[in-house]
Amino acid sequence: MVRKEYVGNHLQSQMLDVLNKYVKSIGKTHMFTKAHSDNIYSIRNILKDGYKVVDEYTSERGPMTAFVK
């Protein structure tokens, strides 16, 4: 959970940007991430960053969506 005062500050987008730069700096070409299928805000951010859906599955936390970039 994200504390209410931090919601809407684009922190997830900033973290994805840092991750993208790091992955490129170490010579990797693909990145994977996942989000709970009900978390429309995270899914929207992930898709906006250029990730594609590669799988949907159920884990101990419920329905999940997996992405690759």
8-18 tens-digit pLDDT: 888 889 999 99
∠ Cα 40 24 8 (to 5°): 30
The reply to whether CATH 1.10.10.10 applies to domain 4-68 is no
Tokens matching residue 60: 């101990």
Return all residues near 7 (Cβ < 8 A) that are at least 6 apart: none
Q: Structural domain boundaries of the chain?
A: 4-68
Beta strands across the sheet bearing 52-59: 32-36, 62-68, 52-59
Mean pLDDT of the region 19-46: 93
Tell me what the pLDDT averaged over the chain comes to: 92
pTM of the model: 0.81
